[in-house]
Amino acid sequence: MSVTDLNAYRAVPEHLPPESQLQATLHLVPAHAWYALPCGALTFVNGRSADYLGLPKDHPLRSGTDAGAQWDSHLSLLHPDDREETRRVWSDCLRTGSAGDVSFRVRNAEGVYRWFLSRAEPVRTANGTLLYWLGVNLDIDERKRAEQELRDTFDTVPAMLWVALPNGSNTDVNRRFVEYSGMGVERTAGSGWREVAHPDDLQKHEGKWRASVASGEPHESEVRFRRADGQYRWHLDRGLPL
């Protein structure tokens, strides 16, 4: 928040009704901020959000007017591919009364979608009564684009690639690995990759891998991996610690 914003924040009149004070404060937040009713209905978005969405000056969301919206009415603002996951996360928040976050794409006034990380927190009275949901949407579009570029590079390398956590648990494989093995990323996660290793090679191969995980040293092992058609082929498996 800039010095100007801080000065403006201090200048928010204390005599304003609580809801008006909240709205005035959210207008100063250097992000897309909003609040919703306890039922989940989106009721207010700050100026930054309203301008991004291209809302008319008299739109109810600019003034915090309860227009009787449904708990999931805001999903129409999102990219169609992101609505199902967002609906699931938001419904979980409403059901449990707990905070939640989700990433989705929001359409701007020009019809262009950008990625946001949305975080919602319940605001309660001292006795626990839910007053409203307070949320902030952070623009992560550049990060998402960089991740996609990395993913595209990962998938186009002419070799089978994998990624594992420091504890040795597999987290990702590239498209070439999926095509070769016939196993999706989900099936290879954790230690699922063991399924494609030849039974006669698995113990020795996994022993070398666990030794590298423990020492932090590079890994190298020759092992047969099963192809999608059931045939085993020899591979030189290498792993480098980053």
List of domains in the chain? 31-140 (3.30.450.20), 157-239 (3.30.450.20)
- CA 50, distance to chain mean position in Å, is 23
**What pTM did the predictor assign?**
0.72
pLDDT digits (tens, 9 = 90+) for 89-101: 999 999 999 999 9
Which positions ≥6 away from 213 have C-beta within 8 Å?
A: 164, 166, 167, 168, 219
Give, as one character, the DSSP assignment of residue 34: E
| % of residues, the chain, pLDDT over 90 | 89
pLDDT digits (tens, 9 = 90+) for 35-88: 999 999 999 999 999 999 999 999 999 999 999 999 999 999 999 999 999 999
> Hey, what are 172's tokens?
């990702």
Confidence band for 17, pLDDT divided at 50, 70 and 90: low
